[in-house]
Amino acid sequence: MDRYVDRCIDKAISRNLNIFGAVLIQGPKWCGKTTSASRFANSSLSLSDPAGNFSALQLARIDPAQALAGLSPRLIDEWQEEPKLWDAVRFECDARRGESGQFILTGSATPRDSMQPMHSGVGRIARLRMDTMTMFELGVSSGAVSIGTLLSGYPAKQAVGSISGIAGIADLLCRGGWPQAMGKTTDDAMQIAAAYVDGVCESDVSRTDGVKRDPVKVRSLLASLARNESTLAGSKSIDKDIGTGVSKNSVSRYMDALRRINIVDDIPAWHPALRSPVKLRQGAKRHLADPSLAVALLGANPESLASDPKTLGLLFESLVLHDLKVYAAANDSLVSHYHDADDLEVDAVIHRRDGTWIAVEVKLGSPQIPEASANLLRLERKLVERGERPPVAKLIIIGFGMPVHTTPDGIIVAPVDTLAP
């Protein structure tokens, strides 16, 4: 791909460069961080560049201040290779007395605790999360149903999805959102995800803190996470699923390492500020950084997924939540899930700091719409009775089978390939 494909994060990068001295873009490898950051930079330094026996990295270690010298905004790519640069960037932001847009940092990992910077960077460095590409960015979604529009209280536009049934959903899951997969066949795209998993198991998960980890055990843990994709499986369930050979302490340490390299990206539980008590469950929903990673770890392909409705449904939910997180972030919002002690569970809640929220259910096909509608209406009644404002929208996202429409109960039904920020 020679042409740059606009990313949902671009506006946030531009906005934050006008506000803060520096912007950090963090996320999994291969998601496009450097490519997007380069569009805003006037000079750059890549710490992973092997030129001159990694001369850029050596310069950063010997003289961090000199490594930062260059036209602003200056891009420091994979900054975590020399964590001292963080404090150097923070110092430069202070020294220039609030001048905005000085630096862009990109990172695919968080430094280990012993290498953490002295200063958090609060007030100087804005943090942005970048993920693999959404269906809107890939050009699969028409973008007719905007999350930002729904958050503002406006109705959804009429539109029709274009995904051709279960086979079309399975193909999207296998391809994933890797920029390198654009224009390639599904088989080739699947090889990208498989190579990513191999890299994580053999190298990346150990490089994050210098501790050598058994690739077989890492793969076993990742496979368990893939089997529990979009579920509330806790640590005990993961331990049991893995079986013997991996201690509980090892699982905990491995999970921490996977989070540091942005491979595990769980959806937290939502905790609205209710005026009366309601017992909410705390568990996070299990998610990997891209649905194609789960496909690779399960050894699946479009044909096997199409013949396994349960797995297809869980991975479809993962795909939808992956995209919703990106669309929500573009609107200064977060995505959580809801699960209470009465066993009422709603797949996602998009929420803002001001209390605005959208309740979302994810269902593969139209036969599940009545069940999803009942959950959304029950959640609305329960929270309003307890002092929460009603949602600005109730949304059911489906894979295929119906055009965008609003039910008599005021619930918007939209195919996933009509969504946009």
74-111 pLDDT per residue, tens? 999 999 999 999 999 999 998 877 799 999 999 998 87
**pLDDT at position 247, please?**
76
Query: Which residue, 84, 100, 129, sits at the end of a domain?
Result: 129
- At position 9, the amino acid (one-letter code) is I
Query: Which residue, 77, 112, 129, sits at the end of a domain?
Result: 129
Residue 57: which CATH number?
3.40.50.300
Nearest partner of 318 among 395, 230, 421, 222, judged by Cα = 230
> Do 118 and 33 share a domain, yes or no?
yes
Residue 120's domain spans which residues?
A: 10-129
- Tens of pLDDT, residue by residue over 302-345, are 999 999 999 999 999 999 999 999 999 999 999 999 999 999 99
pTM of the model: 0.94
**pLDDT at position 280, please?**
84
> Do 120 and 142 share a domain, yes or no?
no
> Does residue 233 sit within a domain?
yes
DSSP conformation class of 80: G
> Do 66 and 170 share a domain, yes or no?
no
Q: Which long-range contacts (CB under 8 A, 24 or more apart) does 118-121 make?
A: 118/87, 119/86, 119/87, 119/90, 121/22, 121/24, 121/86, 121/89, 121/90
> Does residue 215 sit within a domain?
yes
**pLDDT at position 111, please?**
77
Q: How many structural domains compose the chain?
A: 2
> Do 344 and 278 share a domain, yes or no?
yes
> Do 148 and 112 share a domain, yes or no?
no
> Do 229 and 104 share a domain, yes or no?
no
Residue 115 has pLDDT above 70, yes or no: no
> Do 49 and 182 share a domain, yes or no?
no
Instruction: Determine if residue 165 is left, alpha or beta; phi over 0 gives left, psi from -120 to 50 gives alpha, anything else beta.
Output: left
Residue 38 has pLDDT above 60, yes or no: yes
Q: Tokens 């200056």 label which residue? A: 74
CB atoms within 10 A of CB 120: 12
> Does residue 41 sit within a domain?
yes
Q: Mind giving me the DSSP string for 338-393?
A: EEBTT--EEEEEEE-TTS-EEEEEEESSGGGHHHHHHHHHHHHHHHHHTTPPPPSE
pLDDT confidence band for 116 (50 / 70 / 90):
low
> Do 83 and 110 share a domain, yes or no?
yes
Query: Which residue, 89, 106, 129, sits at the end of a domain?
Result: 129
**pLDDT at position 383, please?**
94
Q: What is the rounded CA–CA span in Å between residue 162 and residue 259? A: 35
pLDDT confidence band for 72 (50 / 70 / 90):
very high
Rounded average pLDDT over 142-168: 96
**pLDDT at position 404, please?**
97
**pLDDT at position 325, please?**
98
pLDDT confidence band for 2 (50 / 70 / 90):
low
Direct distance between the N- and C-terminal alpha carbons of the chain, in angstroms, rounded to an integer: 23
- Tens of pLDDT, residue by residue over 172-224, are 999 999 999 999 999 999 999 999 999 999 988 877 767 788 899 999 999 99
> Do 107 and 139 share a domain, yes or no?
no
Note whether 51 and 58 are within 8 A (CB).
no
> Does residue 5 sit within a domain?
no
Residue 27 has pLDDT above 90, yes or no: yes
> Does residue 85 sit within a domain?
yes
> Does residue 386 sit within a domain?
yes
**pLDDT at position 148, please?**
98
> Do 227 and 339 share a domain, yes or no?
yes
pLDDT confidence band for 245 (50 / 70 / 90):
low
Using a pLDDT cut of 90, give the percent of the chain over it.
80
Note whether 233 and 285 are within 8 A (CB).
no
Nearest partner of 127 among 24, 201, 273, 226, judged by Cα = 24
> Does residue 343 sit within a domain?
yes
> Does residue 48 sit within a domain?
yes
Structure tokens at 147: 């999350």
**pLDDT at position 241, please?**
86
> Do 208 and 68 share a domain, yes or no?
no
pLDDT confidence band for 3 (50 / 70 / 90):
confident
> Do 326 and 255 share a domain, yes or no?
yes
Residue 275 has pLDDT above 90, yes or no: no
**pLDDT at position 112, please?**
62
Residue 114 has pLDDT above 50, yes or no: no
